[in-house]
Amino acid sequence: MRSYTLISPAKINLYLEIISDRSDGYHELAMILQSIGLADEINVQSLSNQTIRVNCNHPQVPTDKSNLAYRAAALMATQFPQALAQYGGVEITINKHIPVAAGLAGGSANAAAVLVGIDLLWNLGLTKSELEELGATLGSDVPFCVAGGTVIATGRGEKLSPLPSLDTIYIVLAKYRSLEVSTAWAYKTYRQEFGSSYVIDTENLAARAAAVHSVPIVKAILNKDTREIAQKLHNDLERVVLPAYPQVSQLRELFAAQEGVLGTMMSGSGPTVFALVESEKQAQAVKLQIRAAVPDEDLELFVTHTVINGIQVTSSMG
């Protein structure tokens, strides 16, 4: 049986601005997304029949049709029925390292890896943009997870414009294992509390451009100025999540108080909080300081760094 093993990196938001409502029920966003070294390993293997199977080493991850990786395989089967008939179904094995329900796009990254893996398994020869287009039908973060690196994401997050890749910036991540924040809740609550500030005339490009405040952080990224990037981190969703989730707010305050932390923020809709630091040595020191301050075993801590790639194939068989 043929198989491919792929690495699917997590992402953090360096910037997240909510601009307006969209007619499809989503929000018009301006985001800067960044791939990081914390990643899951995905194996896709051909089956002799036309079924889809999902296995995962993490008890919280469903292995049924609700799993985004399963849905990615089902999408490929629907889009390319002749390839399914020729090559057979697929068994997907997810070796999870990215924390679950963390605002790090772990599920989206897994789905992106499945799209890339099946493209290879079935010899489809799809381009990266075709894979991104398929991914957009699964979720807003999937196209980015295919592409990876450093990008500006607009629309609901599916329209990507690459930025120069950031060299290795070290990051400390913190997430309470038992704590989850619903993305839908976060955006809905933001709409309820701050919807009056939205740009109404979304068809007017000038109004839209004026509403976006990401220029300073984009300049900092173009200059590869880590300190300036760290000073310009921004996430509108903190305005609703931090008051509602004191643990997340406390983590952010704790990071901000540590020596060597250049900047700290919640990623996406949370509850993961991250800090940008000067070096790997500093990152390890900050991790130890946070662990000493919060000895709770429920708190997961990770040291990682920015990476320049999305889905990567590490091995193939057959």
DSSP for 126-147, please give it: --HHHHHHHHHTT-TTHHHHHH
pLDDT level of residue 206 (50, 70, 90 thresholds) = low
Number of other residues whose CB lies within 10 A of the CB of residue 57: 12
In the prediction, which pLDDT does 86 show? 96
Distance, C-alpha 183 to centroid of its chain: 12
Positions at the binding site for ATP:
99-109
CA atoms within 13 A on the CB side of 60: 13
Helices (H), the chain: 68-79, 81-87, 106-121, 128-136, 142-147, 183-194, 205-211, 215-222, 226-231, 238-244, 246-256, 280-293
Separation between Cα atoms, residue 43 and residue 274, nearest integer Å = 28
Name the token pair of 58: 């993490």
Does residue 219 carry a pLDDT above 60? yes
The mean per-residue pLDDT over the stretch 15-33 comes to: 85
Positions at the binding site:
99-109
Separation between Cα atoms, residue 17 and residue 32, nearest integer Å = 9
Does residue 306 carry a pLDDT above 80? yes
Cβ-count burial of 97 within 10 angstroms (0-12 exposed, 13-18 middle, 19+ buried)?
Answer: middle
Residue type, 270: G
Supply the mean pLDDT for the chain: 93
Number of other residues whose CB lies within 10 A of the CB of residue 167: 10
Does residue 213 carry a pLDDT above 90? no
Is the Cβ–Cβ distance between 176 and 149 less than 8 Å?
no
Name 179's Cβ contacts closer than 8 Å, sequence gap at least 6. Answer: 245, 247, 248, 271, 298
pLDDT level of residue 158 (50, 70, 90 thresholds) = confident
Residue type, 274: F
Fold of 3-166: Ribosomal Protein S5; domain 2 (3.30.230)
Separation between Cα atoms, residue 264 and residue 252, nearest integer Å = 6
User: Shortest CA distance to 114 belongs to which of 60, 161, 76?
Assistant: 76
Name the token pair of 251: 């983590």
Cross-strand partners of 275: 172, 264
Name the token pair of 70: 């399963």
User: Shortest CA distance to 214 belongs to which of 153, 144, 128, 296?
Assistant: 153
Region(s) of the chain under CATH 3.30.230.10: 3-166
> pTM of the full predicted structure?
0.93
Does residue 211 carry a pLDDT above 80? no
Strands 159-162, 150-154: pairing kind: antiparallel
Fold of 169-306: Alpha-Beta Plaits (3.30.70)
pLDDT level of residue 187 (50, 70, 90 thresholds) = very high
pLDDT, tens digit (0-9, with 9 covering 90-100), for 33-84: 999 999 999 999 999 999 999 999 999 899 999 999 999 999 999 999 999 9
Separation between Cα atoms, residue 269 and residue 103, nearest integer Å = 6
Residue type, 50: Q
pLDDT, tens digit (0-9, with 9 covering 90-100), for 240-290: 999 999 999 999 999 999 999 999 999 999 999 999 999 999 999 999 999
Region(s) of the chain under CATH 3.30.70.890: 169-306
pLDDT, tens digit (0-9, with 9 covering 90-100), for 98-134: 999 899 999 999 999 999 999 999 999 999 999 999 9
Active site (catalytic) residues: 11, 141
